[in-house]
Every structure is written in structure tokens, then in C-alpha cells.
Amino acid sequence: MNNENIQQTNSSMSNGMSGRTGTPVVPLPDFQEGGPVASENGNNDGSAGIPVIPLPDFEEGGPVFPGNEDGSAGIPVIPLPDPGEGGPVYPGPSQPSRPNRPNRPNWPIFPVYPLPNVPCFFCQEGNTNGYSKVRFLNAVNSYRSLVVIGSGLQVASGLSFGSLTNYGNVSDGFRTVTIAQPNGYVLLRKTVPFHAGDTITMAIIPSAGGIDLMQISDTPCNNRPYGYSCFRVANLAYYSNPLDVILYDGRVVYSDVRFKEVTSFKRIRPGEYDFYLAETSLRPTPRMEDIETLNTDTSSVMMRAEPLLSFYVNVRANAMYTVYILGYGTSPNELQTIIVEDRQ
């Protein structure tokens, strides 16, 4: 065969199969190896020659995921480790922590009911200008008990730290109030104005010079729907920092309550409430919002709040609640509360 015939033969071989030249193909397996070959026309949908993952031998491999109802299937997943293998599972993003829910001991709640006959603390004979109703609260822990004297008459004796007297009438005008120890040693003598028709708590509080008197108005909160109650806080703890009053679920009721500050009343529904005191940088909440309608987005609160004290209040209908914060030591964190419930 001459060279011309060889060239023609190679040319016809290279152009012979379907007119394609130089296209690589997948080599066929040896006899009895491999699986079934797709038909010449491929699959029923017209696709052909698409490689697939070979199936495992009989009794090898695990169950095949049947696919989701939406038609998605064949999505690879990370295999689980064998029992005892692998490390701890990532718990997800950190969540803000809340303070431990306080136990509910019998918190000191002093119910005060209107008296049919209010006693006279120091009344001027022949007074025609009327009276104010006054009670005394001892917020000083430095003395075991105190004696209250008004216009030379003993009003209360053995008034211990955190205790409260009943209301008594005081004649309108300026009256001298004396606070003494049981042995007669005078701690404070101060002239105080009293106004007819007022209802006040006269708090005996610590001061830079020893002790002092602070008048707290107890005017009833009458601008509320029937069945609601009122709630407020008074900070009488001399060494405390500004305090936030926060519900257990994170809602801020009052913010930055400082020493000698008495908050405005907020309406509150009857029910059980867990509160705690904390020091945070939160903004004060609107003054007129009801406690049950405050903002509940509290993720930032829970991450920063470190409870200093917790207390529990079982609110009843048509009452006025005052939480007095007292300091039993010289540390800002040495705090306790007394809760006074005035029935109306």
C-alpha cells in the first residue's frame, strides 16, 4: 500500500464516526463490570449520559432520604458521629441572662386601713383650722429605737428601724417635733409646718449631720379606673446609688431613683409582681405609663442588670402601695424594703 492510500485510509477513519474528530470518550468497563448502559435516546426526558453516584453493594450504606414534600431531595447532610465521638455542640448565639427569680418569703407588707376615729398626736385646743393626718416612719438603722415627741407630748415610743406608726391628727400650723432615744437623749428637734387636709408620712431619715425629717405626701391616687391600684417607690437609703426598679420580665418601672426621691404613682392591675432593684444606664420610662403597658423589649436590660435586691408584691384592687427602700448599712448594696399598703 503506497503512502497515498495510507493517507486516504487514515482520513476516512478520522471522519467516519458521526463526523466528529478527536472527541474523548469515557472508556467502557470490562465485561460484566459496571451497571446498565442508558439507552441510545437516553432517559425519557431526553437527557442522556449524565453520570450518577454508584449505589452501594447489597446491605451496605444507610437508608436513603426519600425527599421532601416540596420536591427537593438529594441534599447532602453532615454525617453524625458515632456514640461517644465528637465534641460539644455549639449552643447558638448567647441569650441575655435574667436574674434568678426570687423566692417568695413573707415580705413585710403593712396594710393600713382608714380609722373611724383618728387619734390626736398633737392638737391645739380650740383649733378651728382643721387637721392634717400624719404618721411616722423610722428609716434610720443607727439607733435601736426612737421616741417621737410632738409639742411636748409623746407620740410614739420604741419606734424601731423599718417600723411605722398609725396616722394621727396634727393641728394646722408650725409644730415642733423632737426625736430622742429611749434614755431621753435628743437627736433632733425641728419645727415643721403642717397643713389642714394633708395626709403625710413623716420619715426619720439619715443625714450628713445625723438624722433629719422628710415629709412624704400620701394624697390618694384617685385618677384611676375602678379596680386598679397605684404603685410608687421612695428611696430613703442614704448611701445608695441611683436605683432602677425593674420587673422580673425586664420592664423598667422607674429609673435612677435617688436618695430622698419619691416617684410619681403609676397605675397597676391587681396580681402578683416580682420586682428587683438594680443600677443600670437605662433611660427613665415615660412618667404616665401604666406598669402593665411598659415596653417589653428588654434584651439590653437583661444583659446589664445585676440585681441588688428583689421583692414581691401581691397587689389587691383599690389600694395604694408605697415601697420604701431603706439602707441597713454604709454600703450602697445594703438595702431592704418595706411595703405599705394603704386601703382606700
> Which pLDDT belongs to residue 9?
40
Q: In which residue ranges of the chain is pLDDT below 50?
A: 2-19, 91-99, 101-106, 296-303
Distances from the Cα of 70 to the Cα of 32, 66, 77, 112, angstroms: 39, 12, 18, 67
Query: Residue 303 belongs to what H/E stretch?
Result: helix 299-304
pTM of the model: 0.67
The reported pLDDT for the residue numbered 151 is 78
Q: Is 7 helix (H, G, I), strand (E, B) or coil?
A: helix
pLDDT at 32: 61
Element containing residue 302 per DSSP (H, E) = helix 299-304
Q: What is the pLDDT of residue 164?
A: 93
Q: Please calculate the CA angle 219-115-193 and round it to the nearest 5 degrees.
A: 45
In terms of residues, how long is the chain?
344
Give bridge partners of residue 336 from the DSSP assignment: 326
Distance of CA 58 to the CA centre of its chain: 59
Q: Which of 251, 289, 288 is nearest to 273 (CA)?
A: 251
Residues 6+ apart with CB under 8 A from 64: none
> What pLDDT score does 231 carry?
95
CB 246 within 8 A of CB 285: no
Position 303: which residue type?
A: M
Please write down the HEC assignment for all residues of 80-110.
CCCCCCCCCCCCCCCCCCCCCCCCCCCCCEE
With a CB cutoff of 8 Å and minimum separation 6, the contacts of 310 are 99, 102, 248, 274, 275, 276, 277
Q: Beginning with the edge strand found earlier in the chain, give each strand of the sheet holding 271-278 in spatial order.
A: 252-257, 243-247, 271-278, 309-315
- Predicted confidence at residue 93, as pLDDT, reads 44
Predicted confidence (pLDDT) per residue in 189-226, tens digit? 999 999 999 999 999 999 998 999 999 999 988 788 88
* Tens digits of residue pLDDT in 120-131: 887 877 777 889
CA 23, chain centre distance (Å): 73
DSSP category for residue 27: P
Residues 6+ apart with CB under 8 A from 221: 230, 265, 267, 320
Predicted local distance difference test score (pLDDT) of residue 248: 85
Q: Using an 8 Å Cβ cutoff, are 179 and 150 in contact?
A: no
